[in-house]
Chains A and B, each alone.
Chain A
């Protein structure tokens, strides 16, 4: 085999985002788009690169990313530079902290309780691309509907608001009782009562009340760890409730420390936790 004539930026290659296709002459470039959000102004650049270096084809990944396939080996560097020039970085692949996904959240989704996009960006900036024992996925959802699948990621954040009732403000219309899908509310003497064992902190009651009688008791993210999909899917387990972004960042950091210390090569976080023990994991992460 002859050596390629273009000089490849191996540092860039190592950081990932260049994926060999079935036919070794061709590669797909993966873009780093935290939260699956991209400015419309950048779309023509992606189209241009796909047409100039690929076959005019653009693919959407299941994790909110964009990939441009059919880039010839010798042209990877030129295509990468052209994308980088427009501010489009390549997204991590392989044994790394992958691009963070997120649901639309505030201010787009009507149900949203948090700005999932900005938190995802913050996580991605700090941890995205880190080398780890195996792939590591993180996501942020802005309400318990969990649209970005926090239970199927190594670490998943899911915003929640626990309500409490200010009885004087309630006019007893019963709408919130009807709205609560968890049957966590029932009327007693004409006023709703909250069954905390059933409440999942979705805040539907708060958002439905015409007199704002429901107020915020606690709010923040629930944290799930160890979820994954693929050959042997596992659902993540909840380890914390109502954490803010700062606490969330610390939890991720300790989680990665634990994973780097105990994780075997090619072992996903959930498997490491199962092998080492959830109690040990929690003790390390929730100090």
Chain B
């Protein structure tokens, strides 16, 4: 049988509806990990160009940060960043347990718990982050 039909990659991506808990945990962990890296670099870029050492004038730093905090998008992005970080940390702890071989049969429940906890913490943080912006 020399011929055979390769269904290719596209088909794989179409399968997301069938993903189970462990798979979603992996997808979210990858995503949040890379978002955090992205934030880290942006963070370094913004701050290192706003500090006195870059320009000499101490008011640049204050001005930059106040300018950013005035933008509603930035307030919402901060809530998003918290959500991403909290999920990554909680699921990261879950993964450490998985690596130790502890509670593997509850891996789906611990993933759902990470999600619920993340949601709760994020909702609780909203008043703080959006105070004065709306």
Q: Do A and B originate from a single complex?
A: no
Please list the residues of chain B having a beta carbon within 8 angstroms of any beta carbon in chain A. none
